[in-house]
Structure 1
Amino acid sequence: MNQSAQLKRKLIYIAIILACIIPLYLLGRPTGGGDDAGGQLAQMRNAYEFSEANLGEISPASSTMKLATVGMRGVAATLLWQKAHEYKVKHEWDRLRAALNNISLLQPRYDKVWEHQAHNLAYNVSVQFDDYRQRYEMVREGTEYLERGVRLNRKAPRLIWYTGWFYGHKIGTSDEKKEFRVLFADDTEQHTRLANQGLPIFDARAEGPNNKPDNWLVSNLWLEKGAAMVDAGVKLRRITAINFFETGPKAIFKFAEAIEKEGTYNEKTQDAWVRAADGWAEFGRRSLPTTSNITVRLGALEDRLEEHGRVFDRFKVLCGPLYTEREKELVGTLTGTYLDVYQKDPKDRSKAEQRLMPEIKRLIRPDVKLLLAELPADKRLKGIELIDNMIQLEDRIRRIEGYREQINYSYWESLAMAEQEERTIEARRLIYEAKKFADNAQLKESLEKYEEAFELWAEIFDDYPILTIDDSADDLYESVRQYMIALDSNDLPEGFPLETFVELMAEESYARVEMYEEVRETQKEKAAQRRRELEEEERKRDAADAEQAKADAEKAAEMKAAEGNQDTSRDAAAEKAEAEDKPADAQATEDKDNAAEKADEEPVAEGDKISEGQAVKEEAAAEKQGANEAGSDETPEQPTSDGNPAGEAAAENQPPPPAESN
């Protein structure tokens, strides 16, 4: 009886087992290729893309490793993680590599393994070496480890994002970034490996100023690849959409900053900033999911504000005079500064007062729900519709502003606009050249470059005050300190263009932007007042100079008239003297002629007769010619009754010359 019962139970167990095998086979039957879709589980894996082929590359070694652990994969992975840490502490790098390889075989689809261990190699292990070349090799091993994880996890956008961030951050911001960037640009082996993974590494989008791949641009390529994957429908995990999509454009910003610090200031720099601005604008147009059921676009803030304003204006029109009455009542409640600012002409409001206006408008804005209660019955339905629309827009605007503030959207937008201007590139170039001159002990040239750069930076900060919180503002502040050292002075020169910037650099907060605007505006008002005072002083000086010039002209005219009278008196005296001299000259000529005739009549020796007569004639002719010449050129001095020459007597009768003017 007992044996029969045992046999029956065994047969029942066998039947149950056979009955279970059949559905298990039907459920878990693998695909047979072709039209054979396999069992139900295989079909579901294909439908939800959970199969090994859908998740990434198939690794036979990984599958073998998992089977060899006989269900103890978790225990084996835990032991390997402990061993990896032990090998790192003991600096047993070969064993560490082997342990990490085994971990990746046991957990190939767990993306956190790849992130953690790649970070371990590139950040923690690399710093244990002294030579930067060895450090770069460990960084490269970390990137290779990540790329293996990407190949095995094609549905892990965060892993792709982390790879892109890795290329930018570790190579581009570490202490050895200068050497790392050069080594990466010359690492043809790594370039080939990246090209084999489908990255356009040799495209112009990845080339730096030296026409070689740049790590920041390669970072951007990885991040664009991850963004394309998400756009194709792959869901994000363990990272927010806003942080995922913002990193790509920021890599272009970092690329532009890097080449500027390396001394590249040409059209390639400007193109880099234009590309960064375009990338940021595209990011602003992207629809980003939020914690609620709506999406937002960070670049659409102005559009949403305008739309809200249009809806609100329609509500005001619907309310009619009722809205104006309630608004006037609220305006009457304003006091102090708010009332003064509200009553001031908008053109006369300062920047600080303009920032108060949104708060003032909020205070004098009537409650729309209270207005709705006072509306006639035939207008309430339309009012409810408009109010509901305004509430939805306000919620969207609030979320956009929150996300923009979270990533400092306005700063990056302003930075892209400012940096692509030629004057900004020129200002940075001047600072770079000034430092070069200072390093070569050429202080005069260095000071000239610094002063030119500071003038440009003052203009840039006036137009983009938000740049005073930029990282490069610290570098500029250090340049000012170097300028003061070159001047051998602890004080800034009078009229220094960046005086406000230097004074506010100690403020480590965003309030520095507002303070800069306020102080600069105050300084502009003072400068305008001083300019008006100087213009008034200049006008007074011009008037005084004009009066002095008029007086000098009148005095010069008087002097010229006096000199004319003096010349006239002198001419008259000369003519009178010439007239008096003419009879005397005629008498002298007649006496000489008579003497010559008398001499001709006297008897002389025959030899002397001719010579003496000839001599007398020649002498008379010479005297006559001399008298004629003297009468034509100048009047000879004739003795007067007191023995003075006639010319001196005439001079005494002339009026005295005018005194010299000081």
Structure 2
Amino acid sequence: MNLETSFKRKVTYITGIVLLLFPLFYLGQPATSDPDGGRGGKLAQLRAENYLAQSNLGEIDPVSSTMQLATFGLRPIAVIVLWEKATRFQKMEDYDNVTATVNQISKLQPNFVSIWKFQAHNLAYNISVDFDNYRHRYQWVRRGIDFLMEGTQYNSQDAKLVQEVGAYTGSKIGGSDEKRQFRRLFAEDDPFHQRMENYGLEMDSQLVAGVDGKPDNWKVANRWYQKSEDVAKFSDGGIRGSWLMFYERKPQALIYYAISLEDEGYLDTNAQQAFATAYAGLEELGSLDIFSQFTGTTIRLNQGPELQRKLDGMRIEMNKLAPGVRQAQRDKRFSELPKPQQEAINLAPELRTEYHQRMVQESTEALFVSETDVANAVPEDVKEQALELAAEAEALAVRADAVYYMRSMINYDYWLKRCEMEQLDLAINARKTTANADELFVAARLQPAREQYEKAWTMWTEIFNKYPSMITRDTGQNLMPSIGNYVELLSQFDEEVPEGFALQELVDLAEAELAPLPESNIQFPSPANPDRIKGEIPKPAFPSN
């Protein structure tokens, strides 16, 4: 009886084990990396649907300690070991092994986005600068971008990672000290263009073609930014972080493309058309619904004038409900200000010193009369209506302030005006004349150079009179070397820059930025004086007479 019971129990266990193999196979069958292979079991399919499928362990060295750790479920430790190896190889300047090790890290944790970002930056920015030849530096920048593109394969729902590819393609190639050489190498790099094509970018499109018909790095960056927006729109991940910083990248690439054309001497309709395209991109940005953390809602950058008109209308309506109340409130607050602040406000703006300006700024908040303040001071019969209007007006004011703040964050108004200004024939002619003057100066033809410079300054004066907001560091960046040449040219004639020089404001701006900062008297504890209190202003070593 006991033997029969034991036998039945064994048969039952074996049958159960065999039966359980079928659901285990259904659930746990691994997927294969072969595109013609199966999708695997249910778990493998769920990993694929959620972009967590990893079938690339076979690409790791099978006899390495890394593979041994990974197969025993110690993948994080294996990554740490490899990361230490990569750091050690980089210190030894063994860059081939750095690349091989980084590739193994990406195979172990392909869905860990930070690995792709960190190591791509390491390749493109840190390792590349160790080489003297710009062609070698370009190859390492290319490897960094290629590494990022590979990362987008495993993290296709991460819009920020896709955007990083555009940032490296634009800023690293087009913003480095070697940007002229890098841009030329990129335009001629057909194998790299094919790699980008393989990752889903249309490299034979006019949307990426520069003046010479070859792919331009800034326009390619613009297409990567568009791709990142598409990912954010259609994926579950959406946009992490600031929406404004995310969406500004696309038109920004077009602006830098137009500026690059001018820097490279394309002072013609090509540059004008590029700025027109950038202007259209900025207008498109202005019409997007962008989430604002300031208001907790979406707003548009081009809503500012509309919101201000509505707000002005509400204030007029409020003033009708309570005539004279707003001014009476302000006069009362003015009378309560300290005497120095009152005197500063009453002083004509052109006579105010820095001290007076500070007094005026300090009093601005105290003098501000909100709509709620006005509503609380109206007669009782209209108070309820006034309070409702005040609440609506102040909510609208918050939205208007958010629009203004967001526009100022990305210098939106400046770039919109800059793109408009650069399309003028006058602006193109001014840049041409300035470039001709520079060439004459380098050729030591001083008198013709002087004539051309002064002709150019007249054109720039006309432009700045029409667009006064253009007198900034960004606009003057290209003009300052030419102004420097002009100053040196005048010295050859034993002359100084004439009083009332047309571009004196740009010169003053540049000198203010180059002026050294005053040395701070605040010191910290040091080995020579360990007893000094942190932040203490040191006393003179010797008493002054």
TM-score in terms of structure 1 length: 0.64
Equivalent residue, structure 1, for 2:35: none
Equivalent residue, structure 2, for 1:432: 435
Partner deviation per Cα, 1:158-217 (whole Å, 9 max, x = no partner): 111110000111111112111111111111222222223332222222111212111111
User: SS in structure 1 opposite 2:222?
Assistant: helix
Counterpart contact for 1:52–1:58, Cα < 8 Å: no
Equivalent residue, structure 2, for 1:140: 142
Equivalent residue, structure 1, for 2:451: 448
- Distance in 1 (CA, whole Å) between partners of 2:315 and 2:24 is 67
Counterpart contact for 1:157–1:234, Cα < 8 Å: no
Structure 1 pair 27–341 and aligned structure 2 pair: CA distance change class (3 A):
farther
Number of residue pairs the alignment of both structures matches:
483
- Distance in 2 (CA, whole Å) between partners of 1:440 and 1:505 is 26
Structure 1 pair 27–61 and aligned structure 2 pair: CA distance change class (3 A):
closer
Counterpart contact for 2:473–2:506, Cα < 8 Å: no
Equivalent residue, structure 1, for 2:173: 171
- 5 Å matches for 1:400-419? 400-419=403-422
User: SS in structure 2 opposite 1:394?
Assistant: helix
1:422 positional shift: 2.0
Equivalent residue, structure 2, for 1:269: 271
Equivalent residue, structure 1, for 2:244: 242
1:42 positional shift: 7.4
- Distance in 2 (CA, whole Å) between partners of 1:62 and 1:29 is 21
1:505 is the counterpart of 2:523: no
Structure 1 pair 58–280 and aligned structure 2 pair: CA distance change class (3 A):
farther
Query: By percentage of residues, which structure has more helix?
Result: 1
Partner deviation per Cα, 1:137-166 (whole Å, 9 max, x = no partner): 222122211111112211111111110000
1:105 positional shift: 0.6
Which entry has the higher C-alpha Rg, 1 or 2? 1
- Distance in 2 (CA, whole Å) between partners of 1:137 and 1:31 is 37
User: SS in structure 2 opposite 1:295?
Assistant: strand
- Distance in 2 (CA, whole Å) between partners of 1:170 and 1:384 is 54
Partner deviation per Cα, 1:348-383 (whole Å, 9 max, x = no partner): xxxxx9xx9999998776554344334444423322
Equivalent residue, structure 1, for 2:194: 192
Counterpart contact for 2:51–2:154, Cα < 8 Å: no
- Distance in 1 (CA, whole Å) between partners of 2:413 and 2:260 is 21
- Distance in 2 (CA, whole Å) between partners of 1:424 and 1:185 is 28
Equivalent residue, structure 2, for 1:397: 400
1:74 positional shift: 0.8
- Distance in 1 (CA, whole Å) between partners of 2:323 and 2:95 is 80
Partner deviation per Cα, 1:417-457 (whole Å, 9 max, x = no partner): 22222222221222222222222233233222211111122
Q: Aligned letter for 1:508?
A: E
| C-alpha RMSD of the superposition | 4.0
- Distance in 2 (CA, whole Å) between partners of 1:361 and 1:52 is 56
Equivalent residue, structure 2, for 1:493: 498
- Distance in 1 (CA, whole Å) between partners of 2:25 and 2:198 is 41
Q: Aligned letter for 2:279?
A: A
- Distance in 2 (CA, whole Å) between partners of 1:155 and 1:163 is 14
Counterpart contact for 1:458–1:498, Cα < 8 Å: yes
Structure 1 pair 465–61 and aligned structure 2 pair: CA distance change class (3 A):
farther
Counterpart contact for 2:422–2:428, Cα < 8 Å: yes
- 5 Å matches for 1:293-442? 293-320=296-323, 322=325, 335-336=342-343, 338-339=345-346, 366-442=369-445
Equivalent residue, structure 1, for 2:50: 50
- Distance in 2 (CA, whole Å) between partners of 1:363 and 1:176 is 52
1:277 positional shift: 1.3
Q: Aligned letter for 2:467?
A: Y
Equivalent residue, structure 2, for 1:128: 130
- Distance in 2 (CA, whole Å) between partners of 1:195 and 1:22 is 44
Equivalent residue, structure 1, for 2:159: 157
Partner deviation per Cα, 1:603-640 (whole Å, 9 max, x = no partner): xxxxxxxxxxxxxxxxxxxxxxxxxxxxxxxxxxxxxx
Provide the identity percentage: 30
Query: 470-479 or 315-324, which moves further after superposition?
Result: 315-324
- Distance in 1 (CA, whole Å) between partners of 2:265 and 2:473 is 19
Query: 429-438 or 216-225, which moves further after superposition?
Result: 429-438
Equivalent residue, structure 1, for 2:485: 482
Structure 1 pair 52–312 and aligned structure 2 pair: CA distance change class (3 A):
same
- Distance in 1 (CA, whole Å) between partners of 2:245 and 2:426 is 32
5+ residue gaps, structure 1, are 1-6, 345-352, 510-662
